[in-house]
Amino acid sequence: MTKLIFLGTKGEIEEFTERHQYHSSTVIMSDSVRLLLDYGMLQRYSLEEIKPDAVLITHAHPDHYSWLKKDIQTDVPVYLTKETFDYGKFRPPNAKVVLPGQQHQIGPFQWSCYRVIHSIRCPAVGFKIRAGGKTFVYNSDLVDIVEKDSVLKDVDYYIGDGSSIRANLVRRRGDTFFGHARITTQINWCRKYGISHIMFTHLGKETVREEQKFAQEHSDVVLAYDGMELKV
Ligand SMILES: [Zn+2]
Ligand SMILES: [Zn+2]
């Protein structure tokens, strides 16, 4: 059995509600092996409490990567790109630098990272993870996926960027885009690629404000909340 545990579900916003107090951080667990996806500044649990077998970091923004500002000592391997490794003030002692497209195996998980468009200074990746016969993609912050066709093909679970429902958070500098895609845009991608389970973490201001209304209008889409567990 594979299980998703959403430890934190908010983006980098000041506001918080009882359901969204901690930065987005998710455990995916299979055969009692745990991967922790992102570990930002605002966390309910320490790494000793979460006991992950590995940590996978999407990018070096403070809501995803604690080592940006804090020296956390741990033996747990922390997988991250060279850009993220080079960016932070501190570095995980057991850092493993990975490249987009490289295949990795940790216990029952087969996974790789892929490029997303999100930030100019802190290039980001998403993760494609296979376990228990299911395929998950996790991209908590993105404007777009660079190789969308190959990444979103044959995916069962999409875990996306909940920063905004309809508000435009895409910014542009010259030819370069950065920021966050709307939830509605990402739902359209999922429909196009036939992804049946759609969920969002990293909720932003508009999403938190309109959470109930959104849930009524989209009963087939899940907005995660802190502490939510899902057997898949
Ligand atoms: Zn973020
Ligand atoms: Zn970010």
pLDDT at position 15 over 90: no
Q: What percent of the chain has pLDDT over 70?
A: 100
Name the residue range of residue 12's domain: 2-231
As for how many domains the chain has, the answer is 1
Query: How open is the CA angle 103-58-193, to the nearest 5 degrees?
Result: 70
CATH of residue 157: 3.60.15.10
pLDDT at position 161 over 90: yes
Å from CA of 171 to ligand 1 middle: 15
61-74 average pLDDT score: 97
d(CA 206, CA 55): 29
pLDDT at position 11 over 90: yes
56-64 average pLDDT score: 98
Following DSSP, what letter does each residue of 75-127 receive, concatenated? -S-EEE-HHHHHHSSS--TTEEE--TT--EEETTEEEEEEEEE--SSS-EEEE
Å from CA of 106 to ligand 1 middle: 25
Strand (E) positions, the chain? 2-8, 25-30, 33-37, 54-56, 78-80, 95-97, 104-106, 109-117, 124-131, 134-138, 144-145, 157-161, 169-173, 176-180, 197-201, 221-223, 228-231
Neighbours of ion ligand 2 (CB under 5 A): 61, 141
Which ligand neighbours the alpha carbon of 11 most closely?
Answer: 1
Å from CA of 56 to ligand 1 middle: 14
Nearest to 190 by CA among 144, 152, 219: 152
Which ligand neighbours the alpha carbon of 125 most closely?
Answer: 2
pLDDT at 14: 84
Q: What percent of the chain has pLDDT over 90?
A: 97
Å from CA of 223 to ligand 2 middle: 18
pLDDT tens, position by position, 174-206: 999 999 999 999 999 999 999 999 999 999 999
Residues whose CB is less than 8 angstroms from the CB of residue 212 and which lie 6 or more positions away in sequence, other chains included: none
Average pLDDT over the chain reads 97
Å from CA of 122 to ligand 2 middle: 8
Two tokens, residue 188:
């359209």
Å from CA of 130 to ligand 1 middle: 23
